[in-house]
Chains A and B, each alone.
Chain A
């Protein structure tokens, strides 16, 4: 069994508005940071996650490659998914054992278009997209289903948002958002504006390394003890929206039990409740100390950042066993769970 660890993580100071940088310009500093942190300028494998539609043109990943310094040519691939899945692809490559280091990055801006509306076009093109249900409306359907089944109340959603925002204010990379307003109206009931992840531009990069190479590159590598991802069926009408079967499966296979900290890619308050239940996270688990996606949600990077944040707590010695989670698709359709541990030997 090849031991693979997160040995470096960097993210941008995320912004709620366009900061006047191209995606490539936004990405370059985080790649430079992980290169500096590891002392590596070349990696055995490189993989990224991005979305053409966020930029309104094809081939977002082509110009992003300029930030890597891909000369001489590099072994490289790309997923049209959150970069957490790029990390998964890199993990598989390292597990295969031909190379021992990998660079993973993701980037995206939600300042350039209305992402909730954009994601209508991610839905079934025959039965769903023509009706135009935006991302928030569908999420609210899931929230309603969860509240009805679990007995959780809208106040529980507010509590998630309040805790996330408070934590985010302590995170220099997150947006610093006010406490939920007492009189906030619904955006789409039962969700209020604070239950919805904010518009964010940002990027992140991670370096993975295997075996002794990881120990050389990092004082306290965050070893990946389990990683798994699963999909649910697409249509909200053919699955139990009140829970996440795919997250449960991924958590079970990745070994979610017994983590001290969990960074969950919950883009809506109720998603945290669904994910806690699916992953079996008790009250004693510290959830989203970074503020989570409710404090900064750069598309295509936010899932990778959850893994990075979980790893960072192991790098710093703050946690021994941590979980990073990423989600993708409407209503938590796909879920990835990565369990990390320090001090393996």
Chain B
């Protein structure tokens, strides 16, 4: 059976390098309570809790949701923990949506979080076991070569990444929760920062953040009593492919293409650039905007950088990407995907404040993870599907 599912509450914490003012429970409750408040609900109204985060090594607490069960009001309720690497925020949202759409529950609280300051993100992501067949580590070292391959394939000019870095940080200035806020951000400022992993400069990479994001998802019945406008789920999709295999396209992975095709089909979309009003897409390194523009079918192969260059993806463009400032401005890894999903929902609810895309009615939320091999997407709309 397929029930309709709506986002009736969204809550976020302020994203910061270090949230020294809160415990782990305090952090996740901050987001959860804001989502409940938006939904006009209390803990007791919630049927089930779904928690997502990336590797537990970040905080050094194994499956921390067991400790968080009562902090999230889950005593006596079903609680699950999803982990699909960087895409986890998206996957977590989809697991929660399916609990509604399958008719199992009426109101589900979904929370995704990361408190990266408790250790060191690079360490937590690249702990190496003694028997390794790898000679290089680090997310930048892993992804930068794929970016170079994209530049080679598409003949994109060198400055495209800089444009994305500026555009997303300009958007972040309008978002009260965003982590990186750089007044007066400009191409010159980005170009003055050091190359970390050429072709990527410092300001072309995402920060490491503490933060949590929560949503309340509801059935059609339960959504009726919501005080604020709902965002209806029009489609969800997940796709995975192995990290290494012969002939793998690491610039435009097939899993991303297939995932997008699936979610568009569910939402009845054939031309995403024309039919979507905005997109919140997981862009942790600047160049992933043009790469994902192509992978997600917003343009033909090799054309993505042109959309970035001509301002199509700016807040004032025809298809704004990451009006919230995106992952480049706030990146609590495990939460980043759910933040994309939540920001897409805020847009179609008309609740995105200063970075609201005028008249947004349909939006894409996107997340990816691992070696660009795990994808999770949803499309939300202001109209009931």
Q: Which A residues are closer than 8 A to B by beta carbons?
A: 1-2, 46, 51-53, 55-59, 61-63, 65-66, 70-81, 85, 88-89, 92-93, 95-98, 118-119, 121-126, 129, 228-235, 238, 245-246, 249, 328-330, 333-334
Contact = CB atoms under 8 A, between A and B. Distances in A.
B101 A96 contact: yes
The winner among A66, A246, A328, A333 for most chain B CB atoms within 10 A is A246
B127 A78 contact: no
Interface of B: 1-2, 23-24, 54-57, 59-64, 66-70, 74-85, 91, 94-95, 98-99, 101-104, 124-125, 127-129, 237-243, 245, 253-255, 258-259, 262, 370-371, 373-374
B25 to A, nearest CB: 9
A129 B56 CA distance: 15
22 contacts: A51-B63, A53-B56, A57-B129, A59-B370, A61-B84, A62-B243, A63-B243, A65-B240, A74-B241, A76-B374, A79-B83, A92-B104, A96-B2, A96-B102, A97-B1, A124-B67, A125-B60, A230-B78, A231-B79, A233-B75, A249-B76, A333-B66
B240 A73 contact: yes
B76 A245 contact: yes
Given A71-B241, A80-B81, A95-B102, 19 more contacts: A1-B1, A51-B63, A62-B371, A70-B242, A74-B241, A75-B262, A76-B238, A76-B239, A76-B240, A79-B83, A122-B62, A123-B67, A125-B61, A129-B61, A229-B80, A233-B70, A245-B76, A333-B69, A334-B79
Nearest to B101: A96
Contacts of B75: 231-233
B62 A119 contact: yes
B242 A79 contact: no
Contact of A65 (B77, B124, B242): B242
Contacts of B262: 75
B312 to A, nearest CB: 28
B372 to A, nearest CB: 12
A-B pairs, 10 with minimum CB distance: A58-B55, A73-B255, A76-B240, A233-B70, A80-B83, A95-B102, A329-B66, A122-B62, A73-B241, A96-B102
A73 B239 contact: yes
A78 B76 contact: no
The winner among A46, A66, A89, A231 for most chain B CB atoms within 10 A is A231
A58 B254 contact: no
Given A52-B57, A77-B84, A238 B254 contact: no
Given A93-B98, A238-B70, A52 B76 contact: no
A231 B61 contact: no
A55 B129 contact: yes
Contacts of A235: 70
B238 to A, nearest CB: 5
A231 B370 CA distance: 30
A173 to B, nearest CB: 26
A73 B77 contact: no
B91 A77 contact: yes
A330 B70 CA distance: 14
A71 B61 contact: no
The winner among B64, B80, B128, B245 for most chain A CB atoms within 10 A is B80
Contacts of B81: 79-81, 85
A56 B98 CA distance: 32
